[in-house]
Amino acid sequence: MDFTCPVCNKKLPREILVIVPHTEEHIVDEIKKQHPDWATSDGICERCYRYYKNQMGRK
Ligand SMILES: [Zn+2]
């Protein structure tokens, strides 16, 4: 079963779907800024998650 990552629009295997934890609200906010229709429960792919995590770490 594949899913389409709402952030990078790539079709990916479900195994790498990441649900961003609510404790990481800063990441959730950043994704929503760029993708207003995205909901936390939609999840993102592992690559995007790492990307946003890195972005946040740099600030
Ligand atoms: Zn992605």
Got the DSSP string for 8-53?
T--EEEGGGEEPPPGGGHHHHHHHHHH-TT--GGG-EEHHHHHHHH
DSSP, collapsed to helix, strand or coil, labels residue 58 as helix
Burial of 58 (0-12, 13-18, 19+ CB in 10 A): exposed
Structure confidence at residue 58 as a pLDDT band (50, 70, 90): low
In the prediction, which pLDDT does 57 show? Answer: 74
Number of domains in the chain: 1
Structure confidence at residue 1 as a pLDDT band (50, 70, 90): confident
CA–centroid distance, 18 to ligand 1, in Å, is 10
CA–centroid distance, 25 to ligand 1, in Å, is 18
CA–centroid distance, 12 to ligand 1, in Å, is 8
In the prediction, which pLDDT does 7 show? Answer: 95
CA–centroid distance, 35 to ligand 1, in Å, is 12
Taking each helix axis from N to C terminus, what angle separates 46-58 and 25-34, rounded to the nearest 10 degrees? 110
CA–centroid distance, 42 to ligand 1, in Å, is 11
Q: What is the mean pLDDT of residues 25-45?
A: 95
Give the residue numbers spanning the domain of 52: 2-58
